């Protein structure tokens, strides 16, 4: 497959697809240690047919973005948080964690090498960064691999919303995303493999994604597909579910801080699917869309509409504006949130 060229892109009309860019980053763990990683033009991965990842699913990944600033520079948003979360995911799957400081320098290195593909300021598009780790050691019996590969691919992606935030419809599912003692807190591919069926059923029925309920009682909200949930109460308080099987979203962590700065008394708490009337607005939080307003949730055939099915509510808009301005470098954020990528 031919490599993409920066001149080929129409930055205003990018979707969320993979393009094969000039450089990826690759590192290998063997002989008991992480070998020196490096940039590579090889966007394929070679492994044994007996690699653990192919049979027992040792895989963990991250997702973050590089944002072009108005001054032409490039920012990352809280990459240390992605590094730590990947470390936690790796430990849960008995994979050898990739060192946190190396993670951050590798992300900077691969973004710098592909800097012509960081979309222009104002286009709303960004360079999506996908670091991941796989167990490549050979296994037949069920046991952890002794060799791993860490790899980063980057690809330009369009803005989630062209022309303002748009609420979408969600539906609860009889399926579970993750169990309380399972891997819900880890960003691992297995969670996603099992979400493909419920997600596609929801989409066939006209919904944008699934609301997963807690796996014990099917009573409390857990997550929305690949995003965390929040609700804004009628008196302007920010609430988000608390559960041992939710993936700890960095967007959520950041919005908890911003909501606190706005005096919205943020709280992580149990949120019953039968108590949606307490909210005047709701949304999904994740790197892809920052915030995606939840227009409605359908549960047992009953549709609950939040603020509106066509426009975002005022609190949702205000939270979105603040966080996206920090990410784009238009407003200064808390210490450590905006990390400059040195370009050449
Ligand atoms: C990645 C992910 C999120 C969002 O996390 P961010 O760090 O905000 O991008 C939420 N839920 C699931 C299941 C995820 O995999």
Q: Are residues 39 and 127 in the same domain?
A: yes
The verdict on residue 334 lying in a domain is no
The verdict on residue 71 lying in a domain is yes
Residues of the chain above pLDDT 90, percent: 97
Q: What is the CA radius of gyration of the chain?
A: 20
**344 confidence band (pLDDT: 50, 70, 90):** confident
- 227 within ligand 1 shell (Cβ under 6 A): yes
Ligand 1 atom showing the smallest separation from residue 191 Cα:
13
- 223 within ligand 1 shell (Cβ under 6 A): yes
Closest residue by CA, ligand 1 atom 14: 226
Ligand 1 atom showing the smallest separation from residue 287 Cα:
9
* Contact (CB, 8 A) for 130 and 154: yes
What single-letter DSSP state applies at residue 70?
T
Provide the b/e sequence for 249-282 (b: ≥16 CB within 10 Å). bbbbebbbebbeebebebebeebebeebeebbbb
Q: What tokens were used for 208?
A: 């944008």
* The pLDDT of residue 1: 59
The pLDDT tens digits of the residues spanning 277-310 come to: 999 999 999 999 899 999 999 999 999 999 999 9
What gap in Å lies between CA 69 and CA 74, rounded to an integer? 6
The total number of structural domains in the chain stands at 2
Q: Are residues 255 and 108 in the same domain?
A: no
- Nearest 5°: the CA angle 76, 82, 88 is 170
* The pLDDT of residue 151: 98
Q: What tokens were used for 70?
A: 């108005």
Q: List the single range of 2-6, 55-59, 124-128, 281-285 with lowest mean pLDDT.
A: 2-6
φ, ψ at 144 (rounded to 5°) = -65, 150
Is residue 331 pLDDT above 80, yes or no? Answer: yes
**273 confidence band (pLDDT: 50, 70, 90):** very high
Report the Cα 339 to chain-centroid distance in Å: 18
Q: Are residues 187 and 124 in the same domain?
A: no
What gap in Å lies between CA 60 and CA 131, rounded to an integer? 9
**Which CATH number belongs to the domain containing residue 202 in this structure?**
3.20.10.10
* The pLDDT of residue 164: 78
Mean pLDDT of the chain, nearest integer: 96
* The pLDDT of residue 2: 83
The pLDDT tens digits of the residues spanning 7-54 come to: 999 999 999 999 999 999 999 999 999 999 999 999 999 999 999 999
The verdict on residue 340 lying in a domain is no
Q: Are residues 142 and 218 in the same domain?
A: no
DSSP string over 291-315:
EEEEEEEEETTEEEE-S-SSS--HH
Please give the residue range of the domain that contains residue 20: 6-157
CA of 273 to the centre of ligand 1 (A): 21
Closest residue by CA, ligand 1 atom 12: 226
What gap in Å lies between CA 70 and CA 64, rounded to an integer? 19
CA of 284 to the centre of ligand 1 (A): 10
* The pLDDT of residue 277: 97
The verdict on residue 209 lying in a domain is yes
Is residue 197 pLDDT above 90, yes or no? Answer: yes
Is residue 231 pLDDT above 80, yes or no? Answer: yes
**338 confidence band (pLDDT: 50, 70, 90):** very high
* The pLDDT of residue 281: 98
CA of 287 to the centre of ligand 1 (A): 7
The verdict on residue 133 lying in a domain is yes
* Candidates 33, 162, 166, 187; catalytic one: 187
- 251 within ligand 1 shell (Cβ under 6 A): yes
**Which CATH number belongs to the domain containing residue 53 in this structure?**
3.30.470.10
- 81 within ligand 1 shell (Cβ under 6 A): no
Q: Are residues 121 and 181 in the same domain?
A: no
Is residue 272 pLDDT above 90, yes or no? Answer: yes
φ, ψ at 8 (rounded to 5°) = -80, -15
Mutate to test the pocket of ligand 1, among 228, 230, 241, 248 (most ligand atoms within 8 A of CB): 228
3-class secondary-structure state, position 126: strand
The yes-or-no answer on residue 187 being catalytic is yes
């Amino acid at each position: 497959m031919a490599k993409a060229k920066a001149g080929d892109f129409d930055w205003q009309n990018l979707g969320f697809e993979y393009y094969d860019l000039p450089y990826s980053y690759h590192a290998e763990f063997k002989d008991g240690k992480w070998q020196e990683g490096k940039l590579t033009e090889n966007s394929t991965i070679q492994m044994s047919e007996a690699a653990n990842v192919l049979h027992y699913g040792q895989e963990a990944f991250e997702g973050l973005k590089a944002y072009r600033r108005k001054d032409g520079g490039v920012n990352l948003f809280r990459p240390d948080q992605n590094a730590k979360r990947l470390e936690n995911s790796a430990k849960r799957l008995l994979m050898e964690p990739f060192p946190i400081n190396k993670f951050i320098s590798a992300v900077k290195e691969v973004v710098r090498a592909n800097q012509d593909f960081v979309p222009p300021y104002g286009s709303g598009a960004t360079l999506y960064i996908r670091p991941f780790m796989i167990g490549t050691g050979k296994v037949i019996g069920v046991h952890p691999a002794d060799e791993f590969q860490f790899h980063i691919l980057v690809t330009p992606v369009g803005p989630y919303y062209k022309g303002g935030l748009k609420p979408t419809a969600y539906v609860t599912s009889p399926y579970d995303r993750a169990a309380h003692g399972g891997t819900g807190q880890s960003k691992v591919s297995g969670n996603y493999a099992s979400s493909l069926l419920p997600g596609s059923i929801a989409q066939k029925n006209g919904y944008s994604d699934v609301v997963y309920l807690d796996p014990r009682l099917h009573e409390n909200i857990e997550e929305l597909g690949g995003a965390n949930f929040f609700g804004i109460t009628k008196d302007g308080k920010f609430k988000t579910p608390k559960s041992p099987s939710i993936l700890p979203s960095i967007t959520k962590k950041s919005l908890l801080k911003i909501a606190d700065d706005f005096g919205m008394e943020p709280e992580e708490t149990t949120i019953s699917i039968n108590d949606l009337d307490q909210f005047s607005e709701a949304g999904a939080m994740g790197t892809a869309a920052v915030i995606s307003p939840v227009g409605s949730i359908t549960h047992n055939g009953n549709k609950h509409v939040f603020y509106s099915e066509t426009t975002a509510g005022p609190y949702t808009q205000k939270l979105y504006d603040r966080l996206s301005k920090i990410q784009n470098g238009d407003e200064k954020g808390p210490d450590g949130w905006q990390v400059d990528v040195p370009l050449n």
